[in-house]
Every structure is written in C-alpha cells, then in structure tokens.
Amino acid sequence: MTGNMLPKPGEYDHGLRPYKYPELEVFFGMYPATKVVQAVTAGIHSQLLVQVCRMMRAKNIVELGSGTGVGTAALADYCVSVGGHLTSVDIGETIAKSKLGHRPEITFVVSDSVSYADRWQGPVDVVYVDSDHSRRHALNELNGWLRHGPRMFLMDDTLDPNDPHGSPLEAALDFCAQHSWTWCNIPVGTGLAILLPR
C-alpha cells in the first residue's frame, strides 16, 4: 500500500498475526517450536538488513539501538566487506558494545538517538531504526535524521504484536504521509520496514 492509499495514522492493520507452528512443536519435541522459528527468522532478518545495505551500496550506516548487538554484528561484517563504517547509538551501555567495542569499523555512542541526530556530522546512507519503539520516539528519530540526507531508513519490529507501544510502522506511515517518502514492510521475523524517498 503506497502513495494516496496510505491509511491514516493509527488505522493501519497489517493483518499478520504470529503463527504458533503447532506441527513443528511436535517435530522439535522438547524445544518450543516458536523459539526455533524465531531463531531462524532472526538470522534471516540480519541477512536481510545486510542485503538491503549492499543493494544500496551503503558505506555509512547509523544504527539506533545497539542492544545485544545482533544487527550490529551483521552490519559491522558488511562494513568490513565494503570499507564502510557503522555508528551504533544507544541510550545506555550495551552488551553490543562490550562484545564488539574493539572493532575499528564500529563507533559506539551512548546517547539518546534523537538528540544525537542534532550532533551528527558527516554523511549517512542508511539509518537502521531499532531503539524505543514508541510511535512518538520513532517519528522523532525519522524526522531528526532526515536532515542528514539518508537514502534509506530501515525500521525494525514493524510487525511485533507484543510491542506495548504499537508498531513503529505507525511512525513510518506518519513520516511518509508528512514527507515525500514511500515504504514497504517485509514480514520476516518481527518485521522490517524499508522507507525510501520517492
């Protein structure tokens, strides 16, 4: 759904619900199959992140929300392969930084992701948005980083039915309605939205 078919903010319902995989529960026996499937799709999710950055020939990537470093590690490996650089921002000290802080292709920044946009200097090709998933914060991030001219935003957890704040996809829709950008949502893992200028 794009362009003039955009639903009003808050009206969007992606219609996808988590599937519980009961037949796989039987197959995997003692392992909760939902966890197995989540682990597999998390791997696909990271690879998808990397493939999209590769497709964009991104060299300067900013990640908002370092967390445990799953996305950070995948993006850092990609940066090594293209001579790029990843800046990973988190409001607190993270497992990501303690695991990956020694790698020269990553700069870890402890900051609120929106205020850091005010201090950012330099180019950015892709911003990967995965911090506070509230609609307001995600929208502030998109608007804050827009002024630095990214060619793409990637937004995580756009299908997560357990997110108490609702889907960050709502922020993506608000943003695309306000600016001349368009979006698509990829239902892998907990969802990955791609936002591009028209």
CB of 23 to ligand SAM, least distance (A): 29
Residue 154, sorted as left (phi over 0), alpha (psi -120 to 50) or beta, turns out to be beta
Burial bucket for residue 36 (CB in 10 Å: 0-12, 13-18, 19+):
middle
Question: Among residues 33 and 70, whose Cβ is nearest to ligand SAM?
Answer: 70
Phi, psi of 196 (to 5 degrees): -135, 150
Q: Which stretch binds ligand SAM (CB under 6 A): 6-14, 87-95, 159-167, 174-182?
A: 87-95
Query: Can you tell me which of 61, 89, 106, 155 binds ligand SAM, judged by CB under 6 A?
Result: 89
Q: Which of 97, 86, 181, 177 is nearest to 135 (CA)?
A: 177
Which residue lies nearer to ligand SAM by CB, 100 or 173? 100
CB of 118 to ligand SAM, least distance (A): 13
Contact 72, 107 (CB under 8 A): no
C-beta of residue 56 within 8 angstroms of C-beta of residue 125:
yes
Would you count residue 92 as binding ligand SAM (CB under 6 A)? yes
- Please, are residues 129 and 147 in contact by the beta-carbon 8 Å criterion? no
Binding mask 93-132 for ligand SAM (x = CB under 6 A): -x-----------------xx----------------xxx
Task: Please report, as a single letter, which amino acid is at residue 41.
Answer: T
Task: Establish if 91 lies at the interface with ligand SAM (CB under 6 A).
Answer: yes
Question: CA angle at residue 191 from 140 to 120, to 5 degrees?
Answer: 30
Nearest to ligand SAM by Cβ — which residue? 67
CB closer to ligand SAM out of 111 and 182: 111
| Residue number, 60 or 111, with CB nearest to ligand SAM | 111
Instruction: Give residues in contact with ligand SAM (CB under 6 A).
Output: 64-71, 89-92, 94, 112-113, 130-132, 137
